[in-house]
Amino acid sequence: MQTTMRTTVCAFAAYLICGVSAHAQNAGGVWFGGYKQGRDSINLQLTNIEGVGRLEVDLKGWEPIGYGRCQYVYQYPNPAVDDVHLNGSYGTPDKCPSALSFQMERAGPDSMKVTFTGGTPLAEAELVAGLRPLRDEDRRVTIDNLDILGIKTGMSRADVEAVLKDAGYEHDEESTRVATGSEGWTLETHYFDKGAGDDESDTISIAYSETETAKVMIVGRDWKIPESAKLSELTLKQALLDKYGSPLTSNSEERAYDRQGNNLTDSRERRRACKSRSLQEIQFEWLQKGQTYRSTINLYCGPLTNMRIGTKPNTGLASNLLQWIADPDEIWDNFWRTWSIGEHQTLAALYQSVAGAVGEAPKL
């Protein structure tokens, strides 16, 4: 699993992080939007992470300011934000209101209303989320039987290893892949083997989220089926149908699901269910032994699956089963956790610098 990620912890500038109310926590994320009046417009972007934030304002002909680019930094221990400081080293600060305050109110899963107060020329705006933390109420519906040999996404490492040990799989520790970040986060992909030999091999692959949580994001299986099993392709297809539901198309074994857990059986149906909106898509790589898969997830779609059956020529016997299940919620949650710590450090340092610039002008 290789992505550019970081992890959030309550450590840097602790007074900025740990005293945040539940309502203020609800404002976390990267939010954007604005409004137009004829040819004039204002574009806004808020980045809120654990009690510290940045507001960027791009004004194009908006009276009485005209054209300008402003940046403000602030703390938000609650949704009423009044500890706001203009960054005099960004854009055109001479065109920007020096005093600013605003109220943040979550209006939906991916929308937030911002109401400016204090007599500024900025009006109320509804912003949409590009990135945000995954809340419990945002999680998809759990799907029964969506597992591989009892391994489900979201399981802890200890639970996974107990299941695999009971099933006779051995941990191939030498093949473990580890990705680390400068902030100390770690992502690991582990492999567990059973019956390795010329005629049969069975490998379970597990991609865990960063070390602090270590939950299954992706689980896969690569099973080289022994000829002695005399397992027909039809029997294996029926077993997949009974466990996972109908395939997405008639010529594949791929399964698709929506956020409510419904089995999607038509590509157009999936496109409608998984249509991207304001939230960005997250790219990821999935590494099984000897193979790399690249895909994307978004929080409007259910789990991703890939299933393929190999057959022996002219026999009707199944020779290989390759499958994996990826959980968009776990991948998204991990991305936010691992990306946001570096961004929070940047925001906190910027706030401390701008808010702390209180020295008097020198004699010249």
Q: Let me know: does 329 contact 289? Beta carbons within 8 Å.
A: no
Q: What is the pLDDT of residues 246-301, one digit of tens each?
A: 999 989 999 999 999 999 999 999 999 999 899 999 888 887 777 788 888 899 99
| Residue 323: closest CA among 235, 236, 209, 197 | 236
Q: Is the pLDDT of residue 121 over 80?
A: no
Using left for φ > 0, alpha for ψ between -120 and 50, and beta otherwise, residue 66 falls in left
Whole-model pTM: value is 0.88
User: Residue 145 and residue 305: Cα distance in Å, rounded?
Assistant: 13
Using left for φ > 0, alpha for ψ between -120 and 50, and beta otherwise, residue 111 falls in beta
| Residue 203: closest CA among 148, 157, 154, 258 | 148
Q: What is the pLDDT of residues 203-243, one digit of tens each?
A: 999 999 987 789 999 999 999 999 999 999 999 999 999 99
User: Residue 113 and residue 124: Cα distance in Å, rounded?
Assistant: 7
Cis amide prior to 64 (ω within 30 degrees): yes
Q: What is the pLDDT of residues 129-154, one digit of tens each?
A: 999 999 999 999 999 999 999 999 99
| Residue 127: closest CA among 24, 46, 50 | 46
